[in-house]
Structures are given as C-alpha cells and as structure tokens.
C-alpha cells in the first residue's frame, strides 16, 4: 500500500491546563491549517474530545496525550515529558533529582503504552546533556520547541538540544528528534507568546489511525520541521536523499552529521544526497533554510 506523509503537532495546550483556548477551538485551528493529526498534551491531564458527539471532520485525527509535568524544588526545576498514545493519566513522579525524576517519568509512560518524548530540556535550564544520555528509554527529545522560553539553541556555555541529541546517539541510544509547537496562545500573535504553527513532524504511514501512526513514529519514520518542507525523502543505510520544496526563492544548506555531532558533509541546493560512510554508528541530516531560521531534521539512520 502507498504510504503518505501526514503532518502533526505532538505538543499542545488548551484550557484544560494553561492554554488560552478550548480543546475544540485548538483542534479546529490545526484542522484549518491543514494538520492531519494532533496530540493535545495538557499538563498532568488527559484531554479527550468526544468525537462521536461532535464534529470529527472539523478536527485533525486526535491521538491522546499528556505532558507529564514534575515541578521540582518549588517549581524551579521543571521536568516535562510528553506521553503520546496513552489511555489514562500518567502521574508525575517527584524524586530526589531532575535526572531520577526524568527516568522515572519515562518509565511510567512506557508502562502505560505511550511514547515518551523529553520536552524542552533547556527550559529554565532544568536538564543537561548527561540527563538525556542516561534516558535510555526515551523515544524522542524536542530538538525544536516553539515556546519562547525553550532555549532550543543553547548559548552561554549551555548545549543546544541538537548537541544533546548527538551525545545521546553517540552513546548508542535509539532516540529521535521531534519539533513541536508547545502552543498555549491562540488569540494574539507575538514572538513573545507560544503560538501554534511553529514546529511539527511529518510521518510516513499507510493510513491515518492510531496503530499506523504509533508504529511509524516508534520506528522513526518521520522528519521534523520548523518551516522547511521536504517533498521526497530516502533515509536508509545505503543513501540519504532529500528533496526540499522551496518557497519563494528559498535556498537550503543540508548538513550531514555523525558521531559526536561531527559534520561529515555539507550540500547546497534543493536536493541533498549522501552515502553514509563506514565507521559511523549513525548519520542524520539537518536542513537549514535561508528563510527565518527555519530548519528540518531527519531521523538518524542507524548503521550497526
């Protein structure tokens, strides 16, 4: 069967926690902006819309989720992990450190049948590279988060999330990189607010249902984006071929990285091609756009 690309946001808030719009309003926003699926992930709350009684055609496909939220040490250390594809609330843990809490929350999400995604490690600088490296059961880490407080790119001596991701991959973790909105604000637009539409994933699946989406996401059959559109993609151990869809004169530079985040090759143009070399345990690509600071991230190809 032909597989299709399905666009979704997997980190969203509503009035069921600290978002400023109802779940119905939020779901409609994503449908109107041509998202195929959506994970509503309120803090410590499983928000479920009654799609039998309402208007499923007005919403994207809804995959149930929760942002498992531990507020440690008087909420000075936020440890947030998204639980994707769960059927009941996962209670947040509160352990003696951020690291132990993180590992415990990830394990609780796995036990509940969900995919655990480590959210915004640099929000309030709560987590560091080693925290991600020791989180062996994590499914993903947010390589991009659209919330203005997420400090996605590090600085001031702090690692970017992309550097943390490469450290975890180099340590042998099978962990993916996701881009998300972490949207809270639907009524007013500003770079200082957490607006929708900034980060998403595009999953390659046979159809739009829960088992197919969960399987494709679990296997890393998707790419992540903060604005770059990839039309065609081959992503295997023999070759990586990316064909971007430029918008209005947009130009691209694609960087292929391996162990320790080492740059293996760099290519300019709307098509980027690379043969993963021997001796690397993984290779992945980051596409940089001339528009804004838009990027796309492919999932790592594991080579041994």
> Which residues are at the interface with Zn ion (CB under 5 A)?
67, 80, 119, 182
Residue nearest to Zn ion (CB): 80
Smallest gap from Cβ 89 to Zn ion, in A, equals 16
Any idea which residue has 């345990």 for tokens?
A: 281
Q: Residue 67 or residue 162: which is nearer to Zn ion going by CB? A: 67
Q: Residue 141 or residue 285: which is nearer to Zn ion going by CB? A: 141
How many CB atoms lie under 10 A from the CB of residue 280? 19
Q: Residue 146 or residue 261: which is nearer to Zn ion going by CB? A: 146
Element (H, E) at 27: helix 23-32
What is d(CA 105, CA 252) in angstroms, rounded to the nearest whole number? 38
Smallest gap from Cβ 102 to Zn ion, in A, equals 13
Q: Phi, psi at residue 56, to the nearest 5°?
A: -55, -30
Smallest gap from Cβ 78 to Zn ion, in A, equals 6
Q: For CA atoms 180, 185, 187, 190, give the dihedral sign.
A: negative
Q: Residue 145 or residue 289: which is nearer to Zn ion going by CB? A: 145
Q: Residue 142 or residue 256: which is nearer to Zn ion going by CB? A: 142
What is d(CA 196, CA 13) in angstroms, rounded to the nearest whole number? 10
- 220 contacts 299 by C-beta, under 8 angstroms: yes
Smallest gap from Cβ 178 to Zn ion, in A, equals 13
In this structure, what token pair is assigned to residue 242? 């990316």
Smallest gap from Cβ 245 to Zn ion, in A, equals 29
Q: Residue 14 or residue 235: which is nearer to Zn ion going by CB? A: 14
Q: Which residues of 44-73 are buried (b: 16+ CB within 10 A; e: fewer)?
A: ebbbebeeeeeeeeebbbbbbbbbbbbebe
In this structure, what token pair is assigned to residue 275? 């043969």
Smallest gap from Cβ 232 to Zn ion, in A, equals 32
Smallest gap from Cβ 71 to Zn ion, in A, equals 10
Q: Residue 38 or residue 240: which is nearer to Zn ion going by CB? A: 38
* Rg, Å, the chain Cα set: 18
At residue 161, the 3 state secondary structure works out as: helix
């Amino acid at each position: 069967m032909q597989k299709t690309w399905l666009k979704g946001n997997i980190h969203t808030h509503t009035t069921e926690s600290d978002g400023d719009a109802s779940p119905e309003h939020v779901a409609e926003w994503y449908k109107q902006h041509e998202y195929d699926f959506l994970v509503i992930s309120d803090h410590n709350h499983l928000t479920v819309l009654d799609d039998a009684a309402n208007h499923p055609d007005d919403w994207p496909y809804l995959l149930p989720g929760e942002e498992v939220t531990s507020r440690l040490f008087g909420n000075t250390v936020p440890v947030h992990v998204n639980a994707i594809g769960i059927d009941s609330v996962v209670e947040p843990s509160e352990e003696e450190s951020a690291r132990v809490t993180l590992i415990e929350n990830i394990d609780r999400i796995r036990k509940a049948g969900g995919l655990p995604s480590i959210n915004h490690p640099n929000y309030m600088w709560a987590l560091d590279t080693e925290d991600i490296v020791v989180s062996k059961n994590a499914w993903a880490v947010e390589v991009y988060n659209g919330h203005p407080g997420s400090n996605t790119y590090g600085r001031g001596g702090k690692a970017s999330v992309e550097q943390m991701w490469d450290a975890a991959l180099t340590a042998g973790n099978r962990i993916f990189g996701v881009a998300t909105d972490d949207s809270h604000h639907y009524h007013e637009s500003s770079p200082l607010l957490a607006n929708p539409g900034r980060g998403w994933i595009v999953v390659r699946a046979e159809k739009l249902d829960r088992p197919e989406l969960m399987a494709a996401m679990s296997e890393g059959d998707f790419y992540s984006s903060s604005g770059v559109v990839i039309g065609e993609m081959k992503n295997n151990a023999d070759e990586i071929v990316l064909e971007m869809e430029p918008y209005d004169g947009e130009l691209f530079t694609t960087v292929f990285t391996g162990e320790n985040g080492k740059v293996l090759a760099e290519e300019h143009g709307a098509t980027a091609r690379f043969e993963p070399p021997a001796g690397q345990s993984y290779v992945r690509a980051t596409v940089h756009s001339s528009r804004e600071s838009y990027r796309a991230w492919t999932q790592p190809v594991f080579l041994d």
